[in-house]
Amino acid sequence: MELLVIGAGLAGCEAAWQAAEKGIKVRLLEMKPTKFSPAHQSENFAELVCSNSLRADGIYNAVGLLKEEMRELDSLIMACADSTKVPAGGALAVDRDGFSQMITEKIKTHPNITVEEKEVTEIPQDTWVIVAAGPLVSDALAKEIQALTGDCYLHFFDAAAPIVSFESIDMSKAFRAARYGKGGDDYINCPMDKEEYQKFYQALIGAEGAPVHEGVENPKVFEGCMPIEIMAKRGEDTMRFGPLKPVGLTNPHNDTRPYAVVQLRQDNAAGSMYNLVGFQTHLKFPEQKRVFSMIPGLEQAEFMRYGVMHRNTYLNSPKLLCADYSMRSHPKITFAGQITGVEGYVESAASGLIAGLSVAAKMTGNEVPQFSSQTAIGALGKYISNESITNFQPMNINYGIMDSLDVRIRDKKEKAQAIATRSLEEIKTYKEES
């Protein structure tokens, strides 16, 4: 039997490697260098097109824990990242060219992997397949995926507001209420006086936007969900008659009506994450952190996800995929990478790792690995396959989608250490038993 892997990005390379290491014969199809997406330039695999940083390292945040889990699971991506890292403080940054070259060489020289340079326009349904397409999947493959999944299950545009952790919101400044008392205390409100609003407005209209890849984004699609910074540029008071309107609200801290109000809506059942209502944005991530932290109550906000507005082809995965990223309707077809709704390089590679391990197990008749939401890698799979989600949006790994601890720990480092210890024990138990 042969496994077909479509796409040699981080997810595809990780999936191919994991399966090949289990003795599976893998045929890896990659359209480069015959054809490039609008964002890619190098002929090498696993090309990093946005940044050389794989974000924070160490176990004191969720993405750092995810990387450590992947190291424990013998991740190709993490091994190459660690071998090509460059100084970057607390982040894991790599020599981008060296990183991609190393992965390309390891993939091409693996005895169980055969590479073919061709664009895939058809997904076979009678063989084992991992579709590791990125957010800029080719038009031909996108049409094939759309035919496979149904028109309503493939999104071509991603507009998402930032999400912050509840515990990082300063409730001595914010307050719970709904406008005119409708809905009880469904929203958390961050009130601004006139001076605070004007400073925020000036910072927002002067903030730096993210780069736009030629041919990738069309400003016309923004009209239906306008970026908050574009709205601000239409006039100083535009936001105050839109998402920041203060009507129907009284600040209980001083018994006055605010000049403007930023509302936060609960984003998960546990109430650990809240999104900034109406704050779809195209600002660079550091600019979002700088400007949105000017909002009263969010000065120390922990951003679980930053806002995005760009073409990002992704599946409505909760309706289509299992926690191992396989299709419910076509068990031999598995997806991996950002098309599944995981956001970020590390998360994409993690989905490829699970996809590769799971398909290899199925092909050899072995038990499919199961990771709980106590692990970061398991939480990602549970998130993208959670059928109760009605408005699915791509998500970075964060503690909000992982299982809570049984005990409350106030110290952030102690809490992170407890989460990491619990997670890595599960990963090590899997390795010992597999």
Do residues 328 and 313 make contact, with C-beta atoms less than 8 angstroms apart? no
Q: Report the pLDDT value the prediction gives residue 151, as an integer from 0 to 100.
A: 62
Residue 310: its pLDDT value, please? 65
Q: What pLDDT is stored for residue 212 in this prediction?
A: 58
Q: Is the pLDDT of residue 11 over 90?
A: yes
Is pLDDT above 70 for 174?
Answer: yes
- 15: tokens are 């999936």
Convert the pLDDT of each residue in 393-429 to its tens digit. Answer: 888 899 989 999 988 898 888 999 999 999 999 999 9
In this prediction, residue 424 carries a pLDDT of 97
CB 1 within 8 A of CB 128: yes
**What is residue 222's predicted lDDT score, i.e. its pLDDT?**
43
pLDDT score at 216: 41
Question: What is the secondary structure of 93-144 as a DSSP string?
Answer: EE-HHHHHHHHHHHHHH-TTEEEEE-------SSSEEEE---TT--HHHHHH
- Whether the predicted pLDDT of 90 surpasses 80: no
What is the pLDDT at residue 186? 74
Under 8 Å CB-to-CB from 160, ≥6 apart: which residues? 275, 280, 305, 307, 308, 309, 393, 394
Rounded mean pLDDT, 346-350: 97
pLDDT of the residue at 150: 81
More confident residue, 217 or 126: 126
Percentages (nearest 5) of helix, strand, coil residues in the chain: 35, 20, 45
Confidence at residue 219, expressed as pLDDT on a 0 to 100 scale: 44
**Distances 84 to 70, 94, 121, 252, 301 between C-alpha atoms, Å:** 17, 5, 34, 53, 32
Structure confidence at residue 156 (pLDDT): 57
Q: Domains in the chain, ordered, with CATH?
A: 2-156+312-433 (3.50.50.60), 160-308 (2.40.30.260)
Q: Which residues pair with 309 in a beta bridge?
A: 159
Q: Calculate the average pLDDT of the chain.
A: 89
Compute the radius of gyration of the chain from its Cα atoms. Answer: 22
Share of the chain above pLDDT 90, in %: 63
Q: Express each pLDDT in 269-321 by its tens digit.
A: 678 888 898 898 989 999 999 999 999 999 999 998 888 776 667 899 999 99
What's the pLDDT score for residue 123?
Answer: 92
pLDDT per residue over 179-233, tens digit each?
Answer: 877 666 778 999 999 999 999 999 999 999 887 544 444 444 444 467 899 999 9
